Chains A and B, each alone.
Chain A
Amino acid sequence: MKKQILLTALLLLTQVAYSERIDIIGAGASFPAPLITAMADSYRELTNQKVTVNYQSIGSGGGIRQFSEQTIMFGMTEAYLKDDIMESIEKKSGGKAFNMPITLADVVAVYNLPGIEKGLVLNGEVLTDIFSGKIKKWNDSRISKLNPKTKLPSLPITVVHRSDGSGTTNIWTSYLSSVSKEWAQKVGFATSVNWPVGIGAYGNEGVAGTVRNSPGSIGYVSFSYALLNKISYAYLVNSSGNTIKPSFSATTAAADIDLPEDTRALFTNTSAAKGYPVAGFTWMLVYENLDKNKAITNQNEAEELVKFLIWAITDGQELSESLGYAKLPQAAVKRNVAMIKQLKWENKPIGSQLIESSKLK
């Protein structure tokens, strides 16, 4: 008798624990990983240990692949889904795949010029010519025209780029592509490209380390990395002709433009007057028909995923700047809400129900 009671109690206990604990499994880009992990920690505390977000940073490519193979509940990528992947997912799941902006990546040009610690001004055309190998020396007239008060040395320019495939490269090359037709046709933009000149270093830390060690070099790293490691970075002239000092608010401003409904857009070389021109979204990938994603097994999980998503684009954004990420602009939050409203579980509109009950309404 006693044994039986104990057993039932144990069974009940495990059941309670089981029904209470929910794991949200995601994977993808490594750039947002610190932010997502911090969000996951805060969110678990917020839900009294109930919801654990488990994020594996396996790279954008892996994220997209796992997402289409339905082994994860959400993917993360720094390059939005291409049309052919969107179509194949629509065929398989009967609904769209949503690309929801979660955070912003911004990339700065870092340089090593003895004596010029701050405030070197560059623009898109000059940067393209430097990265194409056409401008070879720092005292080139086109650079000195942008920096009339600075005395530039006659050092040769060494270009340092990322050797590993990276969303940072994607944003950087998409900026160069949007500034220069020639770059767009010859090199293009992607997570790794066929670089005309320069040497490749591994990771943000590799580029930063090489630039720091090599006088006369120029490279690109994500803004927070340059900030934390106190490397000189350039100010950029944006398409409206304003010289922009890189900052989180300038990055947020860059994305505060008229976005397409599915947010699959690049806004490098932004039209926003106060916007920093080298920035892009990092997207969370979610199925419209959540029940069609094999990784999500019941409605409860689907609802918790949607709740986390809503939290991440609202209160979760407060974590951004302390970790080196820019906040989402209102334009992106608006589009996200519209997409979340379309999320369904077995044709039940759980997305709009949860939006109704949240403060976003």
Chain B
Amino acid sequence: MKINTINYELLKKPISLIYRKPGDRIFLSMAVFLGISIVLLTIVMAFVLYGESKEAITRFGVLGFPLKAVWDPAINLEFGALTFIAGTLFTSIGALVLSFVPAVAIAIFTAEYAPRWLSVIVDNLVNLIAAVPSVVVGIWGIFVFTPWMRDCVYMPFFSWSTDNFPALVPLLGNPIGFGMSTATIILALMVLPYTAALTRDAIRLVPREQREASWALGATHREVILMAVLPYSRSGILAGVILSFGRAIGETMAVAMLIGNKNTLPFTLFGPGATMPSVIINEFREAVGNIHYSSLMAVGLALFAISLIVNLLAAWISRKFAFAGGQMV
């Protein structure tokens, strides 16, 4: 009680009286300034995006713009972002699904099974994938991965299905190599290090007691991991997955280089598609008309909103599941 009143008295004083030393004050003002400037920067970015995209939003509607699949910069000058939102969601979710199991497996291997020297090597190699610039991944995709996928996967599968399952052919689309599936696989490769690193950290944070308790009950190593470690760390893993999702949504260059860039629905499995960042990077430089420019900005605003939602969701999930995860087992 007494402590509380003292604190309260202290808090009632102006900050300048609490922090008397110049070093304290400089440090405080710097921390406050930098902290607030980040918040301001985000708000200003959102505001500018909104201001630049206003023309498109008022013309096509707040809901009309994101829910319409039309992109015609030449004749009718009509724009809608549904194609790109769909493309972004398909590729990002696909990439997460593809990368989730390998990423968790790598994390389990390095955190639980591998000897220390090997886990250091594997960790660094995985991190190295994250360090490769995405344009380099894109070039590798164009010259190595795409031709290989076309010759060894898409073409054989396509001709097999024309012979045996003709009904499947319209769903497969043009097997030229550039398309949704190629972009999704490359994207999976690019987000894998993030999921793996965050999962590994979550697993390493599991308290020793948790493990020892399971050992004591006679669990095998596999059972300890599956029944004690993973459930306990699931909030961290989930948050990691969602942060990787955020990264996949925003990935631009490699996707734009490999996705085939078709601005119309419907998409097919092998055939070309487009995402929100890819259409922005493709058309921004030469968007001559005002409404075209404004529509690209509106796509940017939608991307901003989706990224924000994803980040908030990640924060919420890691809080919501953090305690329950430990207690339920």
Residues on A facing B (Cβ under 8 Å): 30, 58-62, 64-65, 77-79, 82, 158, 163-167, 173, 185-195, 198-202, 206, 209-210, 213-214, 217
A188 vs B76: C-alpha distance when bound (angstroms): 9
Q: How far is the CB of B138 from chain A (nearest CB, A)?
A: 9
A190 vs B283: C-alpha distance when bound (angstroms): 11
7 A-B pairs with the lowest CB-CB distances in the bound complex, closest first: A200-B261, A165-B286, A59-B285, A163-B261, A188-B74, A190-B74, A188-B75
A190-B74, A200-B260, A200-B262 known, 14 other contacts, Cβ within 8 Å: A61-B286, A61-B288, A64-B288, A163-B282, A165-B285, A187-B74, A194-B71, A194-B264, A198-B262, A199-B260, A202-B257, A202-B261, A206-B142, A213-B146
Answer yes or no: B143 CB below 8 A from chain A CBs: yes
Interface-located stretch among B3-11, B173-181, B232-240, B316-324: B173-181
Residues of B within 8 A of A198 (CB): 262, 272
Do A60 and B75 have beta carbons less than 8 Å apart? no
Given contacts A164-B282, A199-B260, contact A194 B73 (CB under 8 A): yes
Given contacts A199-B176, A199-B262, contact A164 B74 (CB under 8 A): no
Interface string of B152-178 (1 = CB under 8 A from A): 000000000000000000000010111
Given contacts A194-B71, A194-B72, contact A61 B287 (CB under 8 A): yes
Given contacts A61-B293, A185-B75, contact A192 B286 (CB under 8 A): yes
Question: Size of chain B's interface in residues, with CB distance under 8 A?
Answer: 35
Do B284 and A206 have beta carbons less than 8 Å apart? no
Residues of B within 8 A of A200 (CB): 260-262, 272, 274, 282
Do B288 and A60 have beta carbons less than 8 Å apart? yes
Residues of A within 8 A of B177 (CB): 213-214
A325 vs B73: C-alpha distance when bound (angstroms): 28
Contact residues, B273-291 vs A (CB, 8 A): 274, 278, 281-289
A190 vs B72: C-alpha distance when bound (angstroms): 10
A158 vs B285: C-alpha distance when bound (angstroms): 26
Most chain A CB inside 10 Å of its own CB: which residue of B257, B261, B272: B261
Residues of B within 8 A of A30 (CB): 285
Given contacts A60-B288, A61-B293, A213-B147, contact A165 B283 (CB under 8 A): yes
Most chain A CB inside 10 Å of its own CB: which residue of B262, B263, B286: B286
Residues of B within 8 A of A79 (CB): 288
Answer yes or no: B256 CB below 8 A from chain A CBs: yes
Residues of A within 8 A of B72 (CB): 193-194
A198 vs B75: C-alpha distance when bound (angstroms): 19
Do A192 and B178 have beta carbons less than 8 Å apart? no
User: When the two chains form the complex, which single residue of B146, B179, B283 contacts A192, counting CB atoms closer than 8 Å?
Assistant: B283
A61 vs B143: C-alpha distance when bound (angstroms): 31
Residues on B facing A (Cβ under 8 Å): 71-75, 142-143, 146-147, 150, 174, 176-179, 256-257, 260-264, 272, 274, 278, 281-289, 293
Residues of A within 8 A of B285 (CB): 30, 58-62, 164-165
Q: How far is the CB of A178 from chain B (nearest CB, A)?
A: 14
Most chain B CB inside 10 Å of its own CB: which residue of A173, A185, A202: A202
Residues of A within 8 A of B176 (CB): 158, 199, 214, 217
Residues of B within 8 A of A186 (CB): 75
A164 vs B263: C-alpha distance when bound (angstroms): 11
Do A199 and B272 have beta carbons less than 8 Å apart? yes
Do B260 and A194 have beta carbons less than 8 Å apart? no
Residues of A within 8 A of B287 (CB): 61, 165, 191-192
User: When the two chains form the complex, which single residue of A158, A163, A189, A201 contacts B74, counting CB atoms closer than 8 Å?
Assistant: A189
A226 vs B165: C-alpha distance when bound (angstroms): 40
Q: How far is the CB of A59 from chain B (nearest CB, A)?
A: 3
Residues of B within 8 A of A167 (CB): 286
- Whose C-beta in chain A lies nearest to the C-beta of B272? A199
Q: How far is the CB of A336 from chain B (nearest CB, A)?
A: 22
Q: How far is the CB of A205 from chain B (nearest CB, A)?
A: 10
Q: How far is the CB of A190 from chain B (nearest CB, A)?
A: 4
Q: How far is the CB of B152 from chain A (nearest CB, A)?
A: 14
Residues of B within 8 A of A62 (CB): 285
30 contacts between A and B (CB under 8 A): A59-B284, A60-B286, A61-B293, A158-B176, A164-B282, A164-B283, A164-B285, A165-B287, A188-B75, A190-B73, A191-B73, A191-B283, A191-B288, A192-B282, A192-B286, A193-B73, A194-B74, A194-B263, A195-B263, A199-B174, A199-B262, A199-B272, A200-B262, A200-B272, A200-B282, A201-B261, A202-B257, A209-B142, A214-B176, A217-B176
Q: How far is the CB of B169 from chain A (nearest CB, A)?
A: 13
A193 vs B72: C-alpha distance when bound (angstroms): 6
A79 vs B73: C-alpha distance when bound (angstroms): 14
A124 vs B164: C-alpha distance when bound (angstroms): 39
- Whose C-beta in chain B lies nearest to the C-beta of A186? B75
A38 vs B180: C-alpha distance when bound (angstroms): 40
Q: How far is the CB of A65 from chain B (nearest CB, A)?
A: 8
Most chain B CB inside 10 Å of its own CB: which residue of A78, A192, A202, A213: A192
Q: How far is the CB of A127 from chain B (nearest CB, A)?
A: 17
Residues of B within 8 A of A163 (CB): 256, 260-261, 278, 282
Residues of A within 8 A of B174 (CB): 158, 199
Residues of A within 8 A of B288 (CB): 60-61, 64, 77, 79, 82, 165, 190-191
